[in-house]
Amino acid sequence: MSEIKLIITGTPGAGKTTAIAAISETPPVRTDTATTDDLAEVKDVTTVAMDFGELTLDDGQKVFLYGTPGQQRFEFMWKILVQGGLGLIILVDCSRPDPLADLDMYLENFADFIHQTGVVVGVTRRDQSATPSLDEFYERLEAWGRVFPVFEVDVRQKDDVSLMISALISTLEFATA
């Protein structure tokens, strides 16, 4: 494995574009455009095709990061972006009304991909909401019969994003070992 493709998904505003910008060694590729619906209250722009960034691990492995659009109407992009992917990061925005339902939504939509890969869940915007607890996230994952690492992250911080990526890669290595 000398090149690894990872996908980052999650609700609009969870921080997919921010995470990739925080960690990419090259200027990230963005496809953000003006928001014209309710989301405009939260954000001026939203991703409509993909984000792309790259980084190199200590052992020289290249990691390509692809961020998806968050909104369900861009579901066709989810299917395109996961092709050839090795792992998935799901970002869950805790400031939204029902973060656990959001998690379910992405687990369900990416079920086929998840079936073949590793997943890490990043719980974001913790400064704005301390709930649900990590235990509740783990319980929800158990209901799916899977155990994935769950981290509280501030995606604006490179180290936090790095932590999720390392965790994801180690679960992949474990799976293929």
Ligand X SMILES: Nc1nc2c(ncn2[C@@H]2O[C@H](COP(=O)(O)OP(=O)(O)OP(=O)(O)O)[C@@H](O)[C@H]2O)c(=O)[nH]1
Give the nearer residue to Mg ion in terms of CB position, either 18 or 171: 18
User: Contact positions toward another protein, by CB under 8 A?
Assistant: 29-39, 46, 48-50, 69, 71, 73-74, 76-77
The whole-angstrom separation of Cα 120 and Cα 111 is 14
Q: Is 125 in the site for Mg ion (CB under 5 A)?
A: no
Among 17, 35, 68, 124, binds Mg ion (CB under 5 A): 17
Percentages (nearest 5) of helix, strand, coil residues in the chain = 40, 25, 35
Give the nearer residue to another protein in terms of CB position, either 74 or 106: 74
155 binds, among ligand X, Mg ion, another protein, none (CB under 5 to 8 A by kind): ligand X
163 binds, among another protein, Mg ion, ligand X, none (CB under 5 to 8 A by kind): none
Give the nearer residue to another protein in terms of CB position, either 80 or 101: 80
Q: What DSSP state is assigned to residue 144?
A: T
DSSP code per residue over 36-105: -SGGGGT-SEEESS-EEEEEE-TTS-EEEEEEPP-SGGGHHHHHHHTTT--EEEEEEETTSS-HHHHHHH
Long-range CB pairs of 133-136 (<8 Å, 24+ gap) are 136/100
- The distance of closest approach from Cβ of residue 171 to another protein in the complex, given in angstroms and rounded to an integer, is 30
**Two tokens, residue 22:** 């925080």
128 binds, among another protein, Mg ion, ligand X, none (CB under 5 to 8 A by kind): ligand X
User: Contact positions toward ligand X, by CB under 6 A?
Assistant: 10, 12-18, 43, 46-47, 69-70, 124-125, 127-128, 154-156
Give the nearer residue to ligand X in terms of CB position, either 12 or 118: 12
Give the nearer residue to Mg ion in terms of CB position, either 13 or 140: 13
Q: Are 19 and 8 in contact (CB under 8 A)?
A: yes
- The distance of closest approach from Cβ of residue 42 to another protein in the complex, given in angstroms and rounded to an integer, is 13
The whole-angstrom separation of Cα 90 and Cα 137 is 12
